[in-house]
Chains A and B, each alone.
Chain A
Amino acid sequence: MTIPVLSPPDHELRVTPSDAPPEISIVVLVGERPVPLVELFEEYSAPLRAAKRTFEFVFVAQPHFRKLLAPLQALIDQHESITLLEAGQSVADAALLRMALTTCRGGIIVTLPAYRQVEADAIDALIQRVEQGTDFVVARRWPRRDAIINRLQNRILRIAIEPLAQGRLHDVACSVRAMRREVLTEIPLYGDSMRFLPLVALFNGFSVEELPCRQHQGDMHGRIYGPGVYLRRLIDVLGLFFLLRFTEKPLRFFGLIGSAFALSGGVLLLWLLIERIGGEAIGGRPLLILGVLLFTVGIQAVALGLIGEMIVHFNVSRRQSYRVREVISARRE
C-alpha cells in the first residue's frame, strides 16, 4: 500500500508562535460541501471563548479547497490561534486527520466537518463530557428534523452496523466528535476508518458516549450522492465487520467461507461417485467441473485464511492488543 504524498511542513501557510499548549484542539477537515471558514470559526469559537477555554483551530484542506483557507489569514494576523494545513494531493479524510495530529497540541481534540452539522453550543457540552472522564463523545443529531431522504440513509447505515454497535451508537455519520488525544494516537487512522471511529474506539476498549445535540438548520436539506459513494459505503461496512471481528482470527472468517464452498463441492463429487459406482459414466458431466471448481475455491479460501493467520502470528508481538483501565494495588508504585 502506498501512502499518498502529503505536502511537507513548509507548505504550512503559517503556524502561530508556540507557547503553552491549549486545552483543546479543534480540527476542521475541509473536504465535502465547505461553508465560508471565517464564519465557521467565529461561530464555533464563540462558545469556547464564553467558557473561557484555551483552544487552537487546525484547518486541514484537500488541495481542491485550498483557496478557502486564504481568508483565515486575516484572523491569524489578529493573533488568533489558527493553523492552516493543506494536503499536496487529494487524500482520504484519515490522512487529513493524521496531518492535523502532527501539529495539534491540545489534550482534548474535537473534530468538525467544514460545514455546520450541529449547533455551535454543542461543542462545549461535548468537551465537558470528555473532561468528566469519557474517552470519546460523539454528537448525535437528535431530535432529528432532517429531510426524509437523509433520515432514511442514516437509518439504513444504522441498521447495517447494528450487529457491531448493539444499540450503543445511533448516528455514526455525524462527524462532530470530542475525544481524548489518546484515542487518535492509539487507533490506526487510515482510509475511511474515520467514519466509523466511534465503533473502532469501542472495540479498542475506549469509553464512547453519544450526546444528543440540536441539528443545524443548514444540515437539513436532502442529499443524494452518486452510486459510487453508496458502493464505497457498503464496502466500508463489510471491511469494518471483518476488521473488528476477525483481525486476530482471519481463518475463522475465511475458513467459514472456504468450508462452505469445499463442502458443497464435496457433496456434488460424492454424488457423482455414487452414480459412477452405480455404473453410469460421469467423465462427460458438467456437474463434475462444478464440483471440482467449488472444492478448489474452498481450498483457496482456507489457504488464504492460513496466510492471514501467519501474518497475525508474526505481527502480534509488536503491539499490546488490550487496554488496561486501571491497576489497583495497596502498595505505592
Chain B
Amino acid sequence: MLSVVVPLYNEEENIPQLVTSIQEALVECPQWELVLVDDGSSDDTARVAAGIACTDARVRLVRLARNYGQTKAMQAGFDHARGEVVVTMDGDLQNDPADIPRLLAKLDEGYDLVAGYRLRRQDKLLTRKVPSWIANRLIAWMTGVRIRDNGCSLKAYRRSLISQLHLYSDMHRFLPALAAATAAARIVEIPVQHHARRFGRSKYGLSRVAKILADLMTITMITSFRERPLGLFGTAAAGSVAAGAVVLYLWLRSLALYRVEPEGAYVLPAVVLLLVALAVYLVMLGLVAEVTVRSATQEEQDTMRRPLRGLAS
C-alpha cells in the first residue's frame, strides 16, 4: 500500500483541490491512503479536512493537540501511515501529485529515499531562492550528502527507512542527510514540478537563518561524528593545543631576542594556559559524548532492528 502524508498548517483554501489532485494522480494506484496532519491550525483547516476524511474512506485526518511545527507533524504522519511506501508533500499545492508515480517508479529501482528537486522554482528570488541555494550548498558540503533541494517536501520513502528515522526539532530540512547517517539509506533525486502559491501565505521568513546554521552544525556532527564524537572534540582540542604551541614559541623567541617589559611578561604564558585549558575541557566533553553514544547504542542493540535490505536481491 502507498501512504501519502501531508502536513497542514492553516491551509483551509488549499485542501479540497489538494485532495482532488491526489485522487486524480493515483487513479491507477491499486491501494493508497492519504494521511492529513493538522498541525494545530488556527483557521478552518481541521473542519475542512475532517469533512473530506468523513466522506472518503481512504483519507484520514490526524489532529495534533497544538502547533508543533512541520517536523513533528511529518513524524506524526509517518507514525500514522500504514503503507509500505510513504510519500510526503506540502499542503500548499506547490508540489504536484502528478509526480508521485514517477517517484514510486524510481523507488522500485532499489532506492530507500527518492527526493524531488524543484525544476523552475516559482518563488521570490532574493528571499527564497538565493538563501535556499546557499543553504543547500552548505548542507551538501558539510554533511557530504549531495542533495540539490533539501527544501522540497515531495519525497518517497520505504517503510524500512521511516521506522529508523526519528524527526525532532526542525530536522525535516536535513532529512536526506539524517537518513544517510542513521540508516545508511540509498538516496536519489529526480526533478519535479513546482507551482506558485495560490492561496494562503508562506510560513517561512528570512529569520530562520541563525536557526538553520545551528541545525547545520548539529547535523554535521551527527552525520560525520555520530559513531566517534571524540574525533570531533579531539580534533578541536588538538587545534587548540597547536595554537597554544605557536604562542609558546612566540613567547620563547621574544624572550630570547628582546628584553620583555615586566608588566607584559605574563600575557603570552596566560594565553598558552587558556588554550591548553580549552583543549582539556574539549577532551573531557568528548569523553562525555562517547559515553552518551555508548549507552544509547547499547540500548538500541537491546531492541535490535533489521537492516534496510537483506544481502540477497
Contact = CB atoms under 8 A, between A and B. Distances in A.
B214 A322 contact: no
A174 interface: no
A255 B267 contact: no
Given A252-B214, A255-B214, A317-B166, A284 B64 contact: no
A252 B210 CA distance: 8
Interface of B: 49-50, 53-57, 59-66, 68, 72-73, 75-76, 79-80, 166, 168-170, 210-211, 213-215, 217-218, 221-222, 226, 229, 232-233, 236, 240, 250-251, 254, 260-261, 263-265, 267-268, 270-271, 274-275, 277-278, 281-282, 285, 288-289, 292-293, 296, 299
B72 A329 contact: no
Contact of A323 (B50, B64, B217): B64
Contacts of A202: 66
Interface string A275-309: 00000000111101100110010011011111101
A324 B65 contact: yes
Contact of A284 (B72, B73, B240, B264): B264
B119 to A, nearest CB: 32
B63 A327 contact: yes
Nearest to A254: B214
B278 A300 contact: yes
A284 B260 contact: yes
A320 B76 CA distance: 9
B271 A289 contact: yes
Given A284-B263, A303-B282, A324-B64, A310 B72 contact: no
Contacts of B50: 328
A157 B60 CA distance: 43
Contact of B264 (A256, A285, A292, A325): A285
Contact of A283 (B65, B68, B169, B268): B268
A188 interface: no
Most buried by B among A252, A306, A311, A326: A306
Nearest to A304: B285
B267 A289 contact: yes
Contacts of A251: 214-215, 217-218
A283 B64 contact: no
B95 to A, nearest CB: 23
Given A299-B278, A322-B73, A327-B61, 5 more contacts: A249-B211, A283-B251, A283-B268, A306-B232, A307-B289
Nearest to B178: A313
B48 to A, nearest CB: 12
B169 A249 contact: yes
Given A310-B293, A316-B168, A288 B222 contact: no
Contact of B217 (A255, A304, A331): A255
Contact of B222 (A313, A318, A329): A313
A314 B168 contact: no
Contacts of B54: 328, 330
A310 B289 contact: yes
22 contacts: A248-B169, A249-B169, A283-B267, A283-B268, A284-B265, A286-B267, A288-B271, A302-B217, A303-B285, A306-B221, A307-B288, A307-B292, A310-B229, A313-B222, A313-B226, A316-B166, A324-B63, A324-B76, A325-B64, A328-B49, A329-B61, A330-B59
A307 B76 contact: no
Nearest to B67: A205
A189 B214 CA distance: 30
A301 to B, nearest CB: 11
Q: Report the 5 A-B pairs with minimum CB-CB distance, sorted nearest first.
A: A284-B264, A205-B65, A314-B296, A323-B65, A317-B166
A300 B236 CA distance: 11
A330 B56 contact: yes
B166 A327 contact: no
Interface in A243-290: 248-249, 251-252, 255-256, 283-286, 288-289
A310 B76 contact: no
Nearest to B265: A284
A53 B100 CA distance: 56
Given A317-B166, A321-B72, A284 B267 contact: yes
Given A310-B292, A324-B76, A283 B270 contact: no
A42 to B, nearest CB: 38
Nearest to B229: A310
B296 A315 contact: yes
Contacts of A187: none
A329 B60 contact: yes
B53 A328 contact: yes
A323 B299 CA distance: 25
A227 B233 CA distance: 40
Nearest to B65: A205
Nearest to A309: B218
Contact of A206 (B65, B233, B282, B289): B65
Nearest to A281: B264
Given A252-B211, A296-B277, A331-B57, A320 B79 contact: yes
Contacts of A316: 166, 168
A313 B64 CA distance: 22
B160 to A, nearest CB: 15
Contacts of A327: 60-63, 80
B218 A306 contact: yes
Contacts of A304: 285
A329 B278 contact: no
B221 A303 contact: no
A330 B68 CA distance: 25
B69 to A, nearest CB: 9
Given A314-B292, A328-B50, A322 B72 contact: yes
A160 interface: no
Nearest to B76: A322
Given A283-B251, A309-B221, A321-B72, A303 B274 contact: no
A283 B270 CA distance: 11
